[in-house]
Amino acid sequence: MTDSMLSGSFAPVLPEIFLLAAACVLLIADLFVKSERRTASYVLAQLILLGCALLTALVSTYSLRRPVYAFGGLFVGDQMANLLKLMAYLATAMALAYSREYLLDRKLLKGEFLALLLFALLGIMVLVSANSFITLYLGLELLSLCLYALVALNRDSAASTEAAMKYFVLGALASGLLLYGMSMIYGATGTLTISEVAQHVAKLSGNAAQRPFLVFGLVFLMAGIAFKLGLVPFHMWIPDVYQGAPTAVTLVIGSAPKLAAFAMAMRLLVNGLLELAVDWQQMLVILAVLSMALGNLAAIAQVNLKRMLAYSTIAHMGFMLLGLLSGVVGGNWRNAADAYAAAMYYTIVYVLMALGAFGVLLLLSRAGFECETLEDMKGLNRRSPWYAFVMLVLMFSLAGIPPTAGFYAKLAVLSAAVSAGQVWLAVLAVILALVGAFYYLRVVKLMYFDEPADTTPIAGSGEMRLVLSANGLALLVLGIVPQPLMALCFAAIKAL
């Protein structure tokens, strides 16, 4: 492949083109796979992810100094997009490794699952590289439609079907709100390209007649972003969908799509509407406080682990907002890169924590048995000391206890809030984090101090055990040595 080919207008889109073609090939090739284990299809899917990662790494060398655009400015390749794509590939590969045995036991490992997962990944890739409202909406809908279908994958389950219907109806409503907000912004600025929107907003934000129009559109944009992040009061779908979907699908929903939702917030709010920061930061403060409070308090009452982790997600996304709302305060830009990098670091670490937590549930599940209640965690230390330790690391990280990555992630966003002068918000976040520590430590208590409710030997493939062990250890390493990943996040944000 020559330099001239890579430096052309299609260079930043090569990973997306490859994934689209490869996913179609996988869907057709799977028709000829007779084995129920789908080994050939599974290996092909992992190889496709590896190919995407190599192409993204190759393409990223051309966007180190400045963003590279394609399709007349509709699509952008920059350091933030490349880093988030690489993390999305990793999350998808881990999700496949964790889900394989679970899906095989329930006869759900089919070409449709693999293809939908890859097309959802394509939606994430388009979304994180969007430089236009059109591209952003296309990526969002591709991701959402694939997730709706994945939730309903187990057609014989009434709970899965109900969860899919709730997700679909509320998702359609959120998409409508987002589109209406985009139409308002388009009406005020006359352009759909996000970088051009930023230029027009800079001129119009001081206009007393135009500013209310922009803020009106911003409110609807915020509603759409809040739904995708699962923020209160747009969180209603999360507990029901997390509980109703097969655990393998819950793992998918709770991991890589969070990277896409973070990218959507960055593209719309920071890239496009930074001149309205004083308005959207006030909205983010309210969403952050409500999400941290309701998420942590509601999780205490849950006995179903999937619902507990659902409310945990809501609380963690509230914490992530602490970084987003601390970037530009009172016209002061000095802390912007640090604050947005902290939010990006928090999102990546949360994805790793969610993958590990749901991975343990999948490891403890087997044919005819779903590990999804607190009772199922009793005595895990006696059944498997190593995986009890891995779960302990995951719970400590989710609670923000040192020396795990979750502690450093919380410290980074709290530092950003304090630097922005939001001391009261940082203090409230610490108090709510202490409340949240209760339900994480309750899981640790059940694993180490209660008698096992189930003495069946733990199944799970060697590959799954290896990936899960690496996942837990990675959170320890990122807590002790967070600088390399934080430096990558800072460089990606700085390049914006």
Query: Does residue 6 have a pLDDT over 70?
Result: no
Radius of gyration of the chain from its Cα atoms, rounded to whole angstroms: 22
Domain boundaries, the chain: 3-494
> Quick one: CA dihedral 69, 70, 74, 76, positive or negative?
negative
Query: What pLDDT sits at residue 455?
Result: 75
> What's this model's pTM, rounded to 2 decimal places?
0.93
Q: Which residues, at least 6 apart from 5, have a Cβ–Cβ distance to it below 8 Å?
A: 11
pLDDT at 9 over 70: no
Q: How confident is the model at residue 330 (pLDDT cuts 50, 70, 90)?
A: low
Query: Tens digits of per-residue pLDDT, 94-140?
Result: 999 999 999 998 888 888 999 999 999 999 999 999 999 999 999 99
Q: Summarize pLDDT for 268-297 with one digit per residue, the tens.
A: 998 888 888 888 888 999 999 999 999 999
pLDDT of res. 107: 87
**pLDDT, position 329:** 73
* Confidence band, pLDDT 50/70/90 cuts, at residue 457: confident
pLDDT at 4 over 50: no
pLDDT for position 279? 86
End-to-end C-alpha distance for the chain, whole angstroms: 28
pLDDT band at 1 (very low <50, low <70, confident <90, very high): very low
Q: pLDDT per residue over 155-173, tens digit each?
A: 888 999 999 999 999 999 9
pLDDT digits 0-9 by tens, 23-64: 999 999 988 888 888 889 999 999 999 999 999 999 888 777
